[in-house]
Homo-oligomer: A and B are copies of this chain.
């Protein structure tokens, strides 16, 4: 029987905008190692496939409306590659996914750090490839804004190509390490990349041996046409966002449909939408749990959650209708929010409450059976191969899912009851990652 995959998006205090104010949260947990250790150990106890760290190379918020920034816990966090290297030492099986930007990095560093993490973790590393759209990030690297769309994706494609080339620098059995003869490696099994492209010129070889997975797992999280194409061509996992099964299905069919032209089987790519799951023994308890957090959203923070797309609405009455935006930003997202507001006739407050928790991801609040039903519907209905769980707060919100929802999924045969395989690639059922230089040589022969 086909089983689902589960990841957890575990950066900082959790996904809900008011997470740090939760009565049981350690409010400085986003900079406490013990907090991250407890979170990842909960996820591993729950047999999750992966522990996923979103990232940005800059602070995430603008101070809009004024006062929003200083009310947010999302401004500081551990850097993912260092944190995951540490967490590799307190876990044994769960995958470790770090987000890293192709726009503000160099491929040699990225190839090297992920290869090193793959060695450190015994084959559990993954890279969420993002192109960094925000101006806050650009300004930390000498630019006023991110490069335009096409350019970012063009660079990303070449970046990934270089990284994969570097990961093939050494064949699996290149190292003989024969003390007697003094031969350390077979030079025929060292491949110097000598890449010269539009964005990068990289000689190689990588100064890290071929890794346990051959290549760390590739995760993709862009929803645009280029993002989908990149996922179909190169990703092992997609972290998607959808509110309805129709949306999820359309996205799923589209991305899987693009894979054939790259000679890939659809099953080798796992599409995992984000899911904020809030379980309770009863529906009432679940809703009460959610309300604890919703009530902690300060209006300024709520307004800031929509300001990024609709602009600063603080001059308008909170309990009045959502006005037409004057300077809408991130147009596609602005349209989604306005459609929501118009469809359900939401006030400004209702709108921010509706999105401030899951930030556009599906939110399911209910008994473990309700949540398992919701997951099963998408999983069997062509909308998902698994889910990236977004705990509203950490570690408690994750522990509740592990203790209540996971057993229900296992009872239904929808989720594993023990870890299998050796590497994250095995666990996900992803394609093996052949060494391209070896493949090319075989083709030439």
Number of copies: 2
From known contacts A57-B109, A75-B185, A182-B71, infer whether A140 and B89 are also in contact, taking CB-CB under 8 Å: no
- A298 nearest in chain B by CB position: B182
From known contacts A79-B112, A116-B79, infer whether A184 and B71 are also in contact, taking CB-CB under 8 Å: yes
Using a Cβ–Cβ cut-off of 8 Å, how many residues does chain A contribute to the interface with B?
72
User: Please, how many angstroms separate the alpha-carbon atoms of A90 and B90 in the complex?
Assistant: 10
Q: List, in ascending order, chain B residues with CB within 8 A of A369's CB.
A: none
Asked if A140 and B108 make an inter-chain contact with CB atoms under 8 angstroms apart, the answer reads yes
User: Please, how many angstroms separate the alpha-carbon atoms of A202 and B136 in the complex?
Assistant: 10
Asked if A200 and B142 make an inter-chain contact with CB atoms under 8 angstroms apart, the answer reads yes
A209 interfacial contact with B, CB 8 Å: yes
Interface residues of A in 40-85 (CB under 8 A from B): 56-60, 63, 69-73, 75-79, 81-83, 85
A334 interfacial contact with B, CB 8 Å: no
A296 interfacial contact with B, CB 8 Å: yes
A120 interfacial contact with B, CB 8 Å: yes
Q: How far is the CB of A80 from chain B (nearest CB, A)?
A: 9
Interface residues of A in 19-44 (CB under 8 A from B): 20-21, 23, 27-28, 31, 33
Return the CB mask of A280-301 against B: 1 if under 8 Å, else 0.
0000000000000000101001
A325 interfacial contact with B, CB 8 Å: no
User: Please, how many angstroms separate the alpha-carbon atoms of A38 and B234 in the complex?
Assistant: 38
Interface residues of A in 173-225 (CB under 8 A from B): 175, 177, 179, 182-187, 190, 200-205, 207-209
Q: List, in ascending order, chain B residues with CB within 8 A of A106's CB.
A: 104, 141
Asked if A116 and B82 make an inter-chain contact with CB atoms under 8 angstroms apart, the answer reads yes
Most-contacted residue by chain B among A60, A109, A205 (CB, 10 A): A109
Asked if B57 and A108 make an inter-chain contact with CB atoms under 8 angstroms apart, the answer reads yes
A88 interfacial contact with B, CB 8 Å: yes
Q: List, in ascending order, chain B residues with CB within 8 A of A140's CB.
A: 108, 202-204
Asked if A75 and B207 make an inter-chain contact with CB atoms under 8 angstroms apart, the answer reads yes
Q: How far is the CB of A286 from chain B (nearest CB, A)?
A: 22
Asked if B209 and A76 make an inter-chain contact with CB atoms under 8 angstroms apart, the answer reads yes
User: Please, how many angstroms separate the alpha-carbon atoms of A204 and B75 in the complex?
Assistant: 11
13 contacts between A and B (CB under 8 A): A27-B177, A31-B208, A57-B109, A76-B175, A77-B208, A78-B119, A78-B120, A89-B89, A108-B140, A136-B203, A139-B202, A140-B203, A182-B296
Please list the 9 inter-chain residue pairs (A to B) with the smallest Cβ-Cβ separation, ordered nearest first.
A139-B203, A85-B85, A79-B116, A27-B177, A89-B89, A82-B116, A82-B85, A108-B140, A142-B201
